[in-house]
Amino acid sequence: GGSAMAAVRDVEIDPEGTFKYILVRLQRPGGGEQRDIVRGTKAAEFHNHIFEKVNPEMEKLGYECKCLGGGKIEHNSKDKKIRVFGLSTGYGKADHSVTAEILKKEYTDYEITWSDDKK
């Protein structure tokens, strides 16, 4: 059933600061259910570092992962604002509008904006 997929959090990002993020599509092998998740952290120097951490975790749960692209997130928890922008050199630019919608589900009382600006 969808219980394992439901157990995967939509969003895991650092609580503060500006950092790289990726948009990842999870899918059951052979099609079926799929969903997109957002992962970002200051600990990652490159976008692929995030994917290399997420991928084995999701494979253990029986999902195939595909990175849909990346960018940066600026998370200001004091003012409750998140800005999504930039791109990943390796993966290309994620669809930031999709990322913003996913973030809105988790950060319901935030002002969330996105743009294709580089900085």
Contact status, residue 25 vs residue 34, Cβ threshold 8 Å: yes
Please give the helix or strand (H or E) that residue 72 lies within, else none: strand 64-76
Q: What number is the average pLDDT over the span 9-20?
A: 97
The answer to whether the annotation marks 42 as part of a ligand binding site is no
pLDDT at 1: 47
Higher confidence at residue 68 or residue 1? 68
Instruction: Count CB neighbours of 51 within 10 A.
Output: 20
Structural domains of the chain ordered from first start: 11-114 (3.50.20.20)
Banded model confidence at residue 3, pLDDT cuts 50, 70, 90:
low
25-70 residue pLDDT tens = 999 888 778 999 999 999 999 999 999 999 999 999 999 999 999 9
Contact status, residue 36 vs residue 23, Cβ threshold 8 Å: yes
* 47 a catalytic residue: yes
Amino acid at the residue 110: Y
